[in-house]
Amino acid sequence: MPKSRLYRFRRGDRLLPEATHRFPGTMSNFKILFLALWLAQLSAGLTVAATNDYFTIRVVDDQTGRGVPLVELRTMNKAAWWTDSAGIVALDEPGLMDTEVFFQVASPGYDYPRDLFDNRGLKLRPIHGGTATIQLTRRNIAERLYRITGQGVYRDSVLVGQPVPVQRPVLNAAVMGQDTVIATPYRGKIYWFWGDTDRASYPLGNFSASGATSELPGCGGLDPNRGVDLNYFTDETGFSKPMCQLRGPGAHWIEGPFIVQDEQGTERLVTRVANQTHLGAAESWDLLMFNDAKAVFEPLKHWELHDAHESAHPFCARVEGVEYCYLFPNWRVKADLKSIQDLTNYEALTCVAGDGKFSGPTTQLDRDPAGHLRYRWRAGADRLHPGRMRELIAAGKLKPGESWIDLSDFETGKRIDAGCGSVCWNDFRQRWILLSTAKTGEIWFAEADTPAGPWAYARRVLTHGDYNFYNPTQHPFFDQAGGRLIYFEGTYSDYFSAARAPTPRYDYNQLMYCLALDDPRLALPVAVYRVRETNGLEHLWLRDQVETAGAWDRIEGVAFFALPPTCPGSELVPVYVTEKNGSVLSLTPPAPDARPLFFGLPLMERERAATLAGEWEFRVAVPDGNVLKFPLQFSVQGQNIWIRDLDPGLTGSGTCRSNHLTLTLKTKDGIFVLNGWLETRTLTGTWRQLDATAKGTWSASLTDTASPERRSPSLAVLEECRRPIDGRSDYSVQGQLPAGYEPTGRELCRVWEKPGPVLVLDWQAKPIPSKSN
């Protein structure tokens, strides 16, 4: 038989399509002629191939230069492309090549400059084999890294011949979409599990959980900054197989795999599974254990429970020397195989009186004689999940601020309805950190001294516009730089959202993010506790001082919140403490090397002067009746004005004489002349376009550039007061003086009020390292 020869032809780094041709040992003249003609056509084909190459568009973060996934490029006829996980779009659109095309650019959490007509986009001329780079400004604090699951993760990168980090970049185990990830290190690998999984071959997929493994970073696995290389557990067809071996109709929703020891001291991987025939209450629950030989979960215990599924993300902690698995911060069980099978061993952090059983609107709560709510760990009690808390609030049994978790927006002071999320200990912050949902598509960051709180102030770290992003989970096994960099992911889906249409390929899949915990925007206030000694002396201490003194059981409450001494910021007010007949606060360090107890904000923000220098918000009336809004930054020297567009794309200058302004703005759409008058913090006038008939009116107002959190209604003045009987000092916020004390008139700084009346601490819970083998 003739031997096959494989010829590959390259143009640059891009492989042309492979062709296999067979040649006999002896060629006839006809065959030689045919070969010559074929080679001539192939030679001509190299030129044709060059014109058929893709136009590569790469969208990058203007700070990091990294490609940005999930960026939409849309033309005027509503054709759309989305960047892949490397931020690449491979374009080869008949009719649009080698012609000028305007692409609208949009991505949730990222901005592209807008022009005077509020269009965010740019003109490109797509040519075969050409490239273009678009820079976006990230508004999210968290950085979007890549999509993990689904088809076409690196589709466009493969099309243009760019290297990719994973082995199966376009389709892995025939998975098209996956809901809600949960992951844990187990026996030297990372085990990943998901809920409902869509397949390529039919609308109905796997509803009994999917699974995969990946190698640990440093042990053959990828750096989490680059990607996750998944090896799925598959069935005979190659599709992701069901991981939960349970009978009965409906879906089997896996929740919170965790590791416990059996009677022989061997670590076993177990999980809870909700059996669902519809959204809402479960038909029943099962406890399953992983069979390593068969690579499936098998039944261990059946429970006739009907609690709704809620995506637990367990963590481990040690309580009085005993290891516990916390399925939620307010629900735990001893981490051994025997304990987890008996529901009476599960402990709930609850404020329900008696045996802790929830009975709807008639539930009785545990309050002290003064009416203060009391939370305690109770074995066999019902967990107070968010639905039950809302039911108690609606029944008037519970006030909104009496929940064990009571989050407020750090910027606005408004209460946040915290939803599903995950809690982990973080070595860098030396606190427990929370990532939680709130409004659709938002993720919020908060931290606390114990797993149960006090959870007080939170910062939004990302948004997805109208799209949903739910069940976020941290991966502490991916932490880098001592916990300074953390990684988390969640489900990007149009379910339960106002999204106009599903995003192709990305919808119903997992997105990975990275969050740098040294970002100044994550400097959040922490609790300053009021601690009472047995002799009656009171101290104002942070967690570190309380821990050192072993005084957790002597905490009376939170006096206020302030920024920790590790917080960066040159404009902050350092407050020092001297222990003399109790805590005495001072703005003067008691010693040259003294460390502040905490930081506050200055008492008064300086009022912006009525001057042109600064940031202005412009409103321009255009002929079609619309009003354009955009910010401009003015620099002033004498009568001359220099203008900088806060979204690059506009330049200009002008003059101001006797409060009369003449400004000239240059944009890609033309040159515009503005005439106007300066009044106190406002500008008004008319505009016209040079070499055109367009004209109209405009106005502008001076923007308060102070960060939103410095204008928060949660801020209060920290005042000193003194007890006349013995001269002992104390401190209050908003004039709320302790009994027997009088104000001294001395104000120190501004601090943050405690959002709610309830203090819940789980101070006996000590973090232990995550299991990795």
pLDDT band at 41 (very low <50, low <70, confident <90, very high): very low
Indicate whether 607 pLDDT > 50.
no
565 and 541: one domain?
A: yes
Of 523, 540, 558, the one marking the end of a domain is: 523
**Taking a C-beta distance cutoff of 8 angstroms, is the pair 200, 183 a contact?**
no
Q: Cα dihedral angle (103, 107, 113, 116), rounded to 10 degrees?
A: 70
Query: Can you give the three-state secondary structure of 303-371, one letter per residue?
Result: ECCCCCCCCCCCEEEEECCEEEEEEECCEEEECECCHHHCHHHCEEEECECCCCCCCHHHCCECECCCC
Q: What is the pLDDT of residue 706?
A: 67
Q: What angle do CA 157, 162, 166 make, to 5 degrees?
A: 75
| Residue 208 resides in a domain | yes
228 and 291: one domain?
A: yes
Q: What is the pLDDT of the chain when averaged over all its residues?
A: 88
Q: Which two tokens stand for residue 459?
A: 């910062």
pLDDT band at 154 (very low <50, low <70, confident <90, very high): very high
247 and 185: one domain?
A: yes
| Residue 154 resides in a domain | no
| Residue 167 resides in a domain | no
191 and 296: one domain?
A: yes
CA distance 720 to 732: 7
Mean pLDDT of 155-164: 96
Q: What is the pLDDT of residue 692?
A: 86
Q: What is the pLDDT of residue 647?
A: 64
Indicate whether 141 pLDDT > 50.
yes
Indicate whether 320 pLDDT > 70.
yes
| Residue 367 resides in a domain | yes
The CATH number linked to 699 is 2.40.128.120
Indicate whether 42 pLDDT > 60.
no
Among the listed residues 415, 518, 407, the one whose alpha carbon sits nearest the alpha carbon of residue 454? 407
Mean pLDDT of 182-190: 95
Q: What is the pLDDT of residue 704?
A: 67
Q: What is the pLDDT of residue 605?
A: 47
339 and 431: one domain?
A: no
492 and 626: one domain?
A: no
Indicate whether 169 pLDDT > 80.
yes
| Residue 581 resides in a domain | yes
728 and 593: one domain?
A: yes
Mean pLDDT of 151-166: 97
| Residue 115 resides in a domain | yes
Between residues 734 and 285, the one the model is more confident about: 285
Q: What is the pLDDT of residue 167?
A: 97
Of 388, 403, 418, the one marking the end of a domain is: 403
For residue 473, give its domain range: 404-523
Query: Can you give the three-state secondary structure of 695-752, one letter per residue?
Result: EEEEEEEECCCCCHHHHCCCEEEEEEEECCCCCCEEEEECCCCCCCCEEEEEEEEEEE
Q: What is the pLDDT of residue 770?
A: 58
Indicate whether 38 pLDDT > 60.
no
| Residue 161 resides in a domain | no
Among the listed residues 311, 309, 329, 306, the one whose alpha carbon sits nearest the alpha carbon of residue 420? 311
732 and 698: one domain?
A: no
Q: What is the pTM of this model?
A: 0.83
Domains in the chain, number: 7
Give the model confidence (pLDDT) of 728-764 as tens digits: 899 999 777 888 899 999 999 999 998 888 899 999 9
Helix (H, G, I), strand (E, B) or coil at 483: helix
416 and 513: one domain?
A: yes
Give the number of other Cβ atoms within 10 Å of residue 646's Cβ.
Answer: 14
Percent of the chain topping pLDDT 90: 69
83 and 218: one domain?
A: no
| Residue 546 resides in a domain | yes
Question: First and final CA of the chain: distance in angstroms?
Answer: 54
Pick from 52-56, 408-412, 510-514 the range whose average pLDDT is largest.
Answer: 510-514
Mean pLDDT of 240-252: 88
Q: What is the pLDDT of residue 757?
A: 84
Task: Please name the helix (run of DSSP H) or strand (run of DSSP E) that holds residue 30, with its range, or none.
Answer: helix 29-51
Q: What is the pLDDT of residue 54?
A: 96
Q: What is the pLDDT of residue 646?
A: 62
537 and 517: one domain?
A: no
CA distance 488 to 681: 44
Indicate whether 621 pLDDT > 70.
yes
C-alpha distances (whole Å) from 542 to each of 170, 322, 554, 683 are: 51, 26, 13, 48
519 and 394: one domain?
A: no
Of 403, 419, 454, the one marking the end of a domain is: 403
